Amino acid sequence: MTSSPARDRILDTAFRLFYARGIRAVGVDLIISESGVAKATFYKHFPAKDELVLAYLDRVDVIWTGQLHAAAEAAGPEPADQLVGLFDALGTACRREGYRGCAFINAAAEAAPGTAIHTRTVVHKQSVLAWLRDLAARAGADDPDALARTLALLLDGGLSDGALAADPEAASAAKLAATHLVSAAVPRAAG
C-alpha cells in the first residue's frame, strides 16, 4: 500500500500538474484521468487531496535537496567551496524547460498559514537553512548563522526571480554574489 504502480502513476501525474499549473488549479478528476486510475483507487491511496499535495511536496523535497547536495559535493571537499557550488543547482533548475520557481514558495502562496501544507513548506526551508548553517560553520565563517541566512536569501531570490523571468541571468548573479559573500565571511577562504 505504501507503494504500488497505481500510486506511483498518481504521484507522477500530480507532480507534473501541480508544479506546472498550481495546486488549486488542478482538480483530482484531472489527475485521475491523466494517470489512468479509477476514482476509488485514487481515494484509497490518498483519502483527501491534501494528502496527495503533502506527498507531492515530500517528493519535491527529496529531489531538490538531492540536487543541492550533489551540486555542493561536485564543488569539492571544502565546505567553503560547497557553499558556492550549490548555486549550480539553481542554474540547472532555472534553465530547465517548464521551470516555474520553487514548488514550496508556490505552495505556500496557495495555502493558508497554519495548514499542514503551509507547515510543510516552512519545515523544508528550515532544513535547507540548517544545512547551510552547518556548511558555514564547517567552513569556519565568522558568523555561520548570518552567512547561512544570507545565502538562503540569495537562493530563494534566485528561485523566485527565475520563475518570473525578470532575469535569465539570476542564477549566475546569485553564484557570483555567493562567491563574494563567502570569501568575505571566511577568514582564510579556500580554493
Rounded Cα distance between 132 and 15, Å, is: 26
Amino acid at 170: A
Stretch that binds DNA, among 31-39, 98-106, 136-144, 174-182 (CB under 7 A): 31-39
Rounded Cα distance between 115 and 33, Å, is: 28
Amino acid at 107: A
- Rank residues 30 and 176 by Cβ distance to DNA and give the closer one: 30
37 is an interface residue for DNA by CB under 7 A: yes
User: What does the block give as the cell for 74?
Assistant: 561536485
41 is an interface residue for DNA by CB under 7 A: yes
- Rank residues 46 and 87 by Cβ distance to its own copies and give the closer one: 87
In this structure, the number of other CB atoms found within 10 A of the CB of residue 39 comes to: 11
Which string of x and - marks every residue 49-88 that binds its own copies (by CB under 8 A)? ----------------------------------------
Identify the residue among 149, 179, 189, 190 touching its own copies (CB under 8 A). Answer: 149
User: Nearest approach, Cβ of 44 to its own copies (angstroms)?
Assistant: 27
User: What does the block give as the cell for 95?
Assistant: 534553465
User: Nearest approach, Cβ of 26 to DNA (angstroms)?
Assistant: 7
Q: Residue 106: which of DNA, its own copies, none does it interact with, CB under 5 to 8 A by kind?
A: its own copies
User: What is the number of residues in the chain?
Assistant: 191
Cβ atoms of 124 and 57 within 8 Å: the answer is: yes
Rounded to the nearest angstrom, the gap between the alpha carbon of residue 103 and the centroid of all alpha carbons in its chain is: 6
Write out the residues near DNA by the rule CB under 7 A: 1, 4-7, 26-30, 36-41, 43-45, 47-50
